[in-house]
Structure 1
Amino acid sequence: MQEQHKKDDGLQHDELKIIIRSNDNPYPSADIQIKQLQPRKLTSYFIVLIESGSITYNIDLQDFHLTDGHLLFAMPNQILIPPEKKDDLKYFKLLFDENTLALLPQQFSFLVNPLNNQAIVLDSAAKERVIKVLGILNQIIHADNYDIDTEVILAYLNTLLSELNSAYFRNKEPLNILNVNLSKFIEFKLVVETHLTEQPSINEIAEKLALSTNSLYRIVKEYSGSSPKDYFINRLMAEAQRKLRYSNTSIKELAYELGFNDPDYFSRLFKKSTGKSASDFLPRQDLSGK
């Protein structure tokens, strides 16, 4: 998110990197609205709640159809393709960065998406509570009196994320979000993200997590439905698809960038994993928004 200093833009609080938009506070100019429709790699957490109406978002090449009470969240480094807004749509959009998240008094497991489901369907009571909190945040951040203590904003953000964390795990039986296995799976996902292009072996990852390879296999299989090796390859191939489609990197350059010594092997693995050749993702779109 770029730094914003104009109060009438209302895009973020001066001390917190937090942005909120709704029907009451849409993007202020046609140029900004057009730019917001460009495919882009997220640098912050993104949440959109549909209060009424329906719309389809695309995240990492996957469509998410949202309607009343549906909430979609995305994480930094994912590719977001926003849709054109419909006139009958009532919504809230919220973005906040890692530094803002770090100021909250607790962690929220759903933000690393351990169950691989980025859409949350809120029941009527939860939807009403979430809308109220988002409405208060919207009012505070866009208020004429902008001298609001950051602790107030953080308190409401913490309440919102607590509500969403509960809704994310509510229908999963049985699951304690604080259990050791889930914590290890979250650690596994973080290791994958941090060391993706280094391509560590599964044995090396297990050692980093102080697990046996059998325990790692069992945990990753439980929460993702795939083996650690398949999870890692799928994540690597998803990154390859992003870069092929949204950057000017050649297939050979991309292979080396992702840690492959043999571009031909990369191409074969890509075809085996995705069912398509890497060249099928060319030509690519421009993410610059210019």
Structure 2
Amino acid sequence: MIYTLLIVVAGIITLIGIILFSSKNNRKSGKTIFSFGLLLLIFSIAVNFTSGNSTKESNDKEERISKETVTTVKDGKVTERSTITAQQYNKINIGDSKKKVKEVLGKVTEDSKTQNSIEDIWIYSGRDQGLAYISFSRETNKVVQKQETGLLEGNSNTITTQEGTVNKDDWSKQIENISKQKASRSDKYEKLKGVIENFSGQEQEVKEFEDYIVNQYASGKYIKDIKDDQYMLTNIFKSSIVNTYYKDTTKEPMASFSYSFLLNSKDVYLEINKPDSTSVKAEENEMKKQLENIRK
């Protein structure tokens, strides 16, 4: 833009020089102005041309990058996925349309499209390493979340929502962000599933979760306030992790206890059952029995 303006100014100066040069009284000054304007015009055109080529080369390079694909084979299935750079990933913002994402990251391959109950998800491979997941609301077709693993750095593991960017290993912050979103309880629960799937804590943390759910049950408040999204989602999260940990040892009392705790927390939060329902009371009786075994 600035170089185009400079060309116009140079053209005007050159024209003024020609007009003055045609007058006998101003021929000398006209020649000087004409020469200056002509040199400025040549310089402006040259710079504008060079700048245009540089921009075009940059755009062409990025376009080539976005159109590159990588093919992988896993369990006999061939997957072709478009590749992107960290710079391209950083250009994606919450609220961007699918059209905007395609312009920045390139067309997503059919192999790289998936979904959950509330979102469409596009998956891209990092040009050098890592993966990126772009999630769109099915209602608005706008980006509501993006996450990457090893794309920005070798060990990066981040998730970005309207509330900001956090490390995916920070499950507590993720639950806090989910609880603040303007969404239904069922939608929040669906988002929580992703946090549960990504959890990679140590055995010591699982043991801490065991103590937590036992204490919450013993206090009698674990399903008392279903309007407290963060508390209820935390209960569901921790009991899910504990239950998964004991999935291959069903005879362990904690396996049965965590399952009942999870079932009641989830069903009451999603208003499938009421706190005083027969099914909830039956699970509480089971927890009471297993708690005695846990404390032996």
TM over 0.5: same fold? no
**Structure with the greater relative contact order (CA < 8 A, sep ≥ 6): 1 or 2?**
1
TM-score by length of 1: 0.28
TM-score by length of 2: 0.28
User: Which structure is larger by alpha-carbon Rg, 1 or 2?
Assistant: 2
